[in-house]
Structure 1
């Protein structure tokens, strides 16, 4: 038991230190995703230590584990109801409540009817799919009668995106910020009660041993979106499979550069991936919004056969409510310079992706 305890303690220390090293290689970035699981494992290892026969070094390791637990806990508690945030209320001068669904459908998922059933069940005002290819586009034609406004980016490389809306689309644009095969969508809409807003959909590539070796393209793409968002005056929502977690350095830099709000703070993690393995589920499908958008509900929905759970959001727009102003953080000059440097690194990074990806 002592060997197991020591091995776990050293491993947990390494997994805590690696993300602190500012290196874009996936070895350093992937442990950020598992902060929740690492924290639980630290706690159980500490309990294991209490059951271990006492040695002269035991309490040094127990003390180390306690420090690691506090270190991770200080970050994670912000994404729970235990963290105090001001509650807001809807006023008569706000927009009607709007709701949407964002879903990474998994390109090779053939259970189209389950997703169509999900959309019919929750009847969102608009929804976005990621990893949607030509086959998914054909399947989603069944919903086009109820969603007359659409913007489609059909790709076979697992980075396709489709957007369907009951709300009028005034203008739509596809961006390729860092690579010509990684799209982001920008949708300008106006509600029936006269409220304009902009929806951004993002899905940058992840740093991993099976995909991109570094996080450079991911971070460059996200920070390019942040720079674009900063210049928009209308209310903004940015949603998608960020392949990132909210507490990573690049996510925090995204939030400060865009001057948007993370609605998970003070509420919940909203973990989405992997849909089939609850204990190995990470919150990588993120959302950020401007101060005049107020979130009533943000949660995951039931699995429809994808490796990601879909995200459901209910919100309203209020231009006259300043209750969220204090949640806005602004990037310093040094952080702005760092963001520009990361964007340039993302553009220069040559991602080695196939035009057509087939299932292994």
Structure 2
């Protein structure tokens, strides 16, 4: 039992320390994803320590485990209701409540009807699909009578993206910030009650042993979005499969350089991947918004056959409420310079992706 306790303690220490090492290699970035699970296992190991035979190193290891629990807890508690943030009710100057769904549909998922039923059941004003290819585009044509405005980026490399809206799209464009096969969508929308906002859909590649060796393209892509957001003078929502977690260094840098707010703070993790394994689920489908956007609800919906759960959001716009200004963090000059360097590194990185992906 002592050997198991010792091995677990050593492994948990490694997984805690690795993300602090400033290397983009996936080995050092991947433990960020499992911070919730690492915390649970650290607590279990700490409790286990009290039921095994004590040695001369016991209290040192218990102290180390306790320190790790506190370290992870300080970060994670911000993404729970225990971390209090001010609630913001609508006023007579606010827009109506609007809703969107963001879903990585998993390109090889062919249960089209289940996703269409999800949209028809929840009736969002806008929705975004990621990993959507030509087959998915054809299947979703039945929704176009209800969603007459669209922006489509049809790819077969698992990075296709489709945006559907009941609101008028006044302008839209596809960005390829760091690679010519990794798109982002920028859509300028006008609501029926006269409010304007910009919706960004993003899906950068993940650092992993089976995809990109480093996080350079991912981080360069999302920080390019952050840079673009600062040029826009309208309310902004950025949504998508970030292949990242909100507490990672690059996500924090994104938030600071974009001047956007993370609605998970004071709310919930909203974990989305993997849809089939609840205990090993990571919150990698993220959302950020500007101070004029107020979130009423943010949650996951039921599984429709993908490896990701869809994200559902209810929000309103208000130009006269300034309660959220204090939640915006500003990047300093060093952080801005670091973001620029990461963007350039992302552009230089040559991702090894096939034009047409096949299911393993």
2: CA distance, partners of 1:222 / 1:34: 20
Q: Which residue of 2 aligns with 1:101?
A: 101
Q: Which residue of 1 aligns with 2:171?
A: 171
Q: Which residue of 1 aligns with 2:325?
A: 325
Give a deviation string over 1:34-72, Cα, whole Å, max 9, x none.
Answer: 000000000000111011011111111111000000000
Give a deviation string over 1:73-128, Cα, whole Å, max 9, x none.
Answer: 00000000001211111101100000000000000001000000000000000100
Deviation at residue 197 of structure 1 after TM alignment: 0.3
Q: Which residue of 2 aligns with 1:25?
A: 25
2: CA distance, partners of 1:135 / 1:301: 23
Q: Which residue of 1 aligns with 2:46?
A: 46
- Taking structure 2 as the reference length, the TM-score comes to 1.00
SS of equivalent residue, structure 2 residue 298: strand
2: CA distance, partners of 1:192 / 1:342: 39
SS of equivalent residue, structure 1 residue 136: helix
Note the 1:79-228 alignment, pairs <5 A: 79-228=79-228
Give a deviation string over 1:289-344, Cα, whole Å, max 9, x none.
Answer: 00000000000000000000000000000000000000011110000000000000
SS of equivalent residue, structure 1 residue 205: coil
Q: Which residue of 1 aligns with 2:341?
A: 341
1: CA distance, partners of 2:341 / 2:255: 16
Deviation at residue 234 of structure 1 after TM alignment: 0.4
Q: Which residue of 2 aligns with 1:315?
A: 315
2: CA distance, partners of 1:269 / 1:223: 22
Gaps of at least 5 residues in structure 2 are: none
Is 1:299 the counterpart of 2:294? The answer is no
1: CA distance, partners of 2:267 / 2:72: 17
SS of equivalent residue, structure 1 residue 263: coil
Report the count of equivalent residues: 360
Q: Any runs of at least 4 consecutive aligned residues in structure 1 with deviations exceeding 3 A, and if so which?
A: none
2: CA distance, partners of 1:238 / 1:350: 25
2: CA distance, partners of 1:272 / 1:6: 32
2: CA distance, partners of 1:55 / 1:18: 28
RMSD: 0.4
Note the 1:267-286 alignment, pairs <5 A: 267-286=267-286
